[in-house]
Amino acid sequence: MHRGLLIGRLFGTDIYCDLTFFVLIGFYFLTAEPALAAIFSGAVLLSVLVHEFGHVLAVRRLLHAPSIVVLWMLGGLCIYRGTPRPGHQAAISLMGPAFSFMLGGLAYVLGALLLPEPLHLPLPPAGSPLGYFLWIMFWINAVWGAANLLPALPLDGGQALRAGLRSGLGRPKADRVMRVVSLAVGAAAVGAALHFGRPFAAFLGALLVLENLKRPDIAV
């Protein structure tokens, strides 16, 4: 895929930003006041980087290979060379959600120590930028970490499932199965999001469907 612009290097890993990444955060600027949108954007960026560096760490430990991180419209990608064994591929894929859950748990603990209200409430703490940041961090990493485990490409759950299917069915058949499953999961996500009145989630689900229609062989 197009990597976009090189925006920095962290722990020896180059970080690129594709222009489509601004679609992810730009949606919120249309619906919230600028100060809250800026906090939200910072929380999204930090969460995506922590998630992707979970993959980076797994690639280094299991494959002893370099990788890059690309920020794009569905969050981030960790791109590396080589074809890992199915077990290693699954571990690399699942390390991202694991880091997300750890970051969400850290935000929750900090909220419990510093704020009068628990972060799991559906509304953020009133009048506290720190509280709002921690609330966003908790919910982004809890929800996005769980969503990433859905069995659809290019999500991490889809990557892990495809690795398992390839070991049992072979690459061509597994990839065909994953395309059908990914499209079905994406369509179901759009329908569920619209049913519950979540337009942003429906938008992301639609991007998931389009990505699989465009590039059914996508690999991270």
pLDDT in tens, 10-62: 999 999 998 888 876 777 776 667 788 888 889 999 999 999 999 999 999 99
The predicted-structure confidence for 65-93, as pLDDT tens digits, reads as follows 999 999 987 788 999 987 888 889 999 99
* Cis peptide bond prior to 129, omega within 30° of 0: no
| pLDDT above 50 (res 220) | no
Predicted local distance difference test score (pLDDT) of residue 218: 47
Return the bridge partners of 76, or none.
Answer: 71
| pLDDT above 70 (res 168) | yes
| pLDDT above 60 (res 216) | no
pTM of the model: 0.86
Predicted local distance difference test score (pLDDT) of residue 123: 77
| pLDDT above 80 (res 200) | no
* One-letter identity of residue 210: L
- Residue 124 DSSP code: P
163 falls in which pLDDT band (50, 70, 90)?
Answer: very high
97 falls in which pLDDT band (50, 70, 90)?
Answer: very high
- For the segment 186-198, the average pLDDT, to the nearest whole number, is 91
Task: Give the C-alpha separation, 159 to 91, whole Å.
Answer: 10
Predicted local distance difference test score (pLDDT) of residue 2: 60
Task: Give the C-alpha separation, 157 to 38, whole Å.
Answer: 30
- For the segment 118-126, the average pLDDT, to the nearest whole number, is 79
